[in-house]
Structure 1
Amino acid sequence: MDVSNRDWMSALPEELWDIPLTELAIPGSHDAMSYCLDINSPLLRSESDVFRLLDKLFYCFTRPIIFKWATTQV
């Protein structure tokens, strides 16, 4: 079957149609959600309290490290 990358989900086998998306292994980009990251991007609510405290206390130190680790392509 010839399916373009743009609509690959339209070719899922019928037995997968009723499975919630959260239960499927869906291919994605290693850059997902980091394409617009900058040094001032907010932390997620899901980040640990310790991490949030470190970010508040050592902003000038932690932010460049986070930015460097999260940015995988230019």
Structure 2
Amino acid sequence: MAPQIVGLAFGHFALRMNPILLLGALTGAQTVTAAMAAIQERSGSPVAVLGYTPAYPIANILLTTWGTIVVAVIAS
């Protein structure tokens, strides 16, 4: 929960992002498609997809990369 809370606070107070766009970016960073669909349904707006779209592939690349790095560090 800590990364989500910090990300929400940073995006809202420091970056002054649109709340729906910010929530879309946070769900994309966590790669949770169901949460993005819930945000869209609840808000009645497709704006969440604009935040979700760039965050999702970056998160998938980082998850794969860091998984390899963690295994290499533990194995050595």
For Structure 1 versus Structure 2, the TM-score category normalised by the shorter chain is under 0.3
Q: Rg: which structure is higher? A: 1
Q: Which has the higher contact order (CA 8 A, sep 6+)?
A: 1
The TM-score with structure 2 as length reference comes to: 0.23
